[in-house]
């Protein structure tokens, strides 16, 4: 903010008018306040409430891991899969979790490239969420292979069978896409963390914490010579993460589209999957941040303005998936293919109609309230809607998988699929893993990007100097 803008803003507030742009950090804290506020989360004693929550999520994770152990030692016959339906909750959960991760990358990379300053308060937690969600997705997809201890068969390595992996298969593209996504997200997150870990290293009192943050911050000093390279590295990582996030869910959708099954073999899938992924990811970020903001008292940094922006993105992406749902029916009719037409009529009115309409109501109808500013700034309401969207997006993947598979081309191979307790337990377990990791993150890692928040505070950047005043906002 330049001095002139600052002056205008102050004058506007003095006249009792709303400032043109809402403040992103409330209460006008000093830089030291920001450091102290974020560091106090790390330094504070672990409360009973925290331990109680962590033990609940830990128990969920343990229960899921037990179900996973049972699956691996017995075989995936313990799941509800049957002959026409070879993919069930396993792949539904995989696509669901991968999708959740996408909002993190969108917030950290795409909003960075668009110079959306509001991202700085939420990018750290959204990126963490990405990594944890991809861990859950990998758990699902590895267990679904049936013999996960042979996971390395998916990698191209010289072996005694003289065989290579089949690069013509979209499942192989998926291996590369998901692993690249995990690696790049983790690197991006860590690079962002280095300066803040250094801040904690210099701030915390306890010797052990000082040592741990000291090692993790790699000896970062905040030298301008380092920042100079750092900013370029951050820009490049944001630049490559943007096409990466679009590619990952496109490749996930290839798992379906490259098959020739009616209901899957469609060109709209890549953009439709990406929009859905961002939609579900924002819903999950919102669910988590509403709680985090309350529990860690971060109202100063995560403001209604942030929530409002996220709700706008949810409204937009919700409309995109709604458009895709309707367009699919048109294309099925327009294709003239009996199989295509039938599978879509069956999707909306067949055995899984309940899943289809749950999805439609949650994803298309419920976000419509966000047309109203009052609704976009109403925290209890947005919390409920975000949960609806999470449910709806899970059902979207389930609908796509189950409706296409359960009625094959021949009525002789028709079937119905419901999960067993094992699949349900594994799904609960992935939530346990996800929430436990997020809780640990929220306690031990700076949840707000300290250096980035400081760089957007009023007066943080040179103003009246002849150097790039036009760039200093």
Partner 1 sequence: MSTTPTGVIGEFTDVNVVVTVAEKLRDAGFRNWDIYTPYPVHGLDKAMGIKRSILTYISFVGLCGGLTTALGLQFWTGAVDYKLNIGGKGFFNWQFSMPIDFELSILGTALFTVFGLFHLCRIPTWYNRYQDDASFQKATDDTFVVTIDADDDRFSATETPALLTGLGAQNVHLVHSTVE
Query: Closer to partner 1 at the Cβ: 173 or 394?
Result: 173
* CB of 388 closer than 8 Å to CB of 56: no
Q: Which residues are within 8 A (CB) of 262 and not within 5 positions of it... i.e. 6 or more apart?
A: 332, 337, 339, 340, 342, 343, 404
315 lines the binding site for partner 1 (CB under 8 A): no
233 lines the binding site for partner 1 (CB under 8 A): yes
Query: Closer to partner 1 at the Cβ: 236 or 326?
Result: 236
Looking at residues 242 to 281 of the shown chain, list those that interact with partner 1 (rule: CB under 8 A). 243-244, 247, 251, 254
* CB of 41 closer than 8 Å to CB of 447: yes
230 lines the binding site for partner 1 (CB under 8 A): yes
Per-residue burial over 90-125, b = 16 or more CB atoms within 10 Å of its CB, e = otherwise: bbbbbbbbbbbbbbbbbbbbbbbeeeeebbbbbbbb
Q: Choose one: 73-81, 241-249, 301-309, 376-384; the region binding partner 1 (CB under 8 A).
A: 241-249
3-state secondary structure of 162: coil
Q: Which residues are within 8 A (CB) of 212 and not within 5 positions of it... i.e. 6 or more apart?
A: none
2 lines the binding site for partner 1 (CB under 8 A): no
* CB of 301 closer than 8 Å to CB of 453: yes
445 lines the binding site for partner 1 (CB under 8 A): no
162 lines the binding site for partner 1 (CB under 8 A): yes
Work out how close the CB of 472 gets to partner 1 at its nearest, in angstroms, rounded to a whole number: 5
231 lines the binding site for partner 1 (CB under 8 A): yes
100 lines the binding site for partner 1 (CB under 8 A): no
Q: Which residues are within 8 A (CB) of 214 and not within 5 positions of it... i.e. 6 or more apart?
A: 201
Token code pair at residue 72: 């691996």
Query: Closer to partner 1 at the Cβ: 53 or 202?
Result: 202
Work out how close the CB of 188 gets to partner 1 at its nearest, in angstroms, rounded to a whole number: 8
* CB of 224 closer than 8 Å to CB of 153: no
First to last CA, the chain: 4
Query: Closer to partner 1 at the Cβ: 72 or 172?
Result: 172
420 lines the binding site for partner 1 (CB under 8 A): no
Question: What single string gives the DSSP state of each residue in 400-413?
Answer: HHHHHHHB-SSGGG
Tell me, by CB under 8 A, how many residues bind partner 1: 70
Helix ranges restricted to H, 44-122: 48-74, 89-105, 111-113
Binding mask 46-85 for partner 1 (x = CB under 8 A): ----------------------------------------
Residues that bind partner 1 (CB under 8 A): 30-32, 35, 156, 162-168, 170, 172-173, 176-177, 180, 183-184, 187-188, 190-191, 194-195, 198-199, 201-203, 218-233, 236-237, 240, 243-244, 247, 251, 254, 451-452, 454-455, 459-465, 467-468, 471-472
């Amino acid at each position: 903010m330049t001095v002139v803008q600052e002056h205008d803003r102050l004058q506007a507030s003095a006249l009792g008018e709303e400032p043109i742009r809402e403040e992103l950090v409330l209460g006008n804290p000093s830089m030291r306040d920001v450091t102290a506020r974020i560091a106090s989360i790390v330094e504070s004693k672990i409360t009973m409430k925290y331990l109680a929550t962590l033990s609940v999520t830990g128990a969920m994770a343990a229960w899921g891991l037990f179900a996973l152990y049972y699956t691996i030692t017995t075989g995936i016959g313990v799941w509800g899969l049957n002959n026409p339906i070879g993919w069930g909750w396993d792949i539904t959960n995989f696509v669901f979790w991968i999708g959740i991760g996408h909002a993190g990358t969108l917030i950290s990379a795409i909003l960075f490239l668009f110079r959306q300053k509001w991202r700085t308060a939420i990018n750290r937690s959204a990126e963490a969420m990405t990594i944890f969600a991809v861990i859950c997705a990998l758990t699902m997809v590895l267990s679904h292979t049936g013999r996960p201890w042979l996971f390395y068969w998916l990698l191209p390595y010289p072996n005694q069978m003289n065989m290579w992996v089949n690069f013509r298969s979209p499942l192989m593209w998926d291996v590369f896409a998901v692993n690249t996504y995990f690696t790049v997200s983790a690197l991006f997150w860590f690079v962002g963390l280095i300066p803040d870990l250094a801040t904690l290293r210099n701030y915390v009192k306890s010797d052990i914490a000082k040592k741990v943050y000291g090692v993790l911050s790699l000896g970062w000093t905040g030298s301008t010579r380092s920042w100079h390279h750092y900013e370029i590295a951050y820009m490049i990582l944001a630049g490559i993460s943007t096409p990466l996030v679009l590619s990952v869910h496109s490749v996930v959708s290839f798992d379906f589209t490259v098959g020739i099954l009616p209901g899957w073999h469609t060109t709209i899938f890549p953009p439709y999957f990406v929009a859905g992924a961002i939609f579900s990811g924002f819903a999950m970020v919102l669910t988590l941040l509403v709680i985090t903001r309350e529990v860690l008292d971060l109202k100063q940094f995560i403001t209604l303005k942030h929530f409002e922006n996220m709700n706008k993105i949810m409204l937009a992406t919700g409309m995109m998936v709604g458009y895709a749902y309707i367009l699919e029916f048109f294309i099925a009719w327009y294709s003239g293919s009996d199989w295509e037409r039938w599978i879509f009529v069956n999707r909306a009115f067949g055995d899984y109609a309940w899943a289809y309409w749950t999805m439609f109501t949650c994803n298309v109808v419920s976000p419509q309230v966000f047309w109203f500013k009052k609704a976009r700034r109403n925290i209890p309401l947005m919390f409920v809607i975000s949960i609806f969207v999470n449910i709806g997006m899970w059902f979207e993947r389930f609908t796509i998988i189950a409706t296409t598979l359960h009625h094959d081309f021949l009525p002789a191979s028709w079937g119905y699929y419901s999960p067993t307790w094992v699949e349900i337990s594994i799904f609960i377990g992935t939530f346990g893993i996800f929430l436990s990791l997020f809780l640990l993150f929220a306690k031990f890692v700076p949840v707000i990007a300290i250096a980035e928040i400081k760089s957007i505070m009023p007066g943080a950047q040179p103003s009246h100097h002849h150097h790039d005043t036009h760039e200093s906002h």
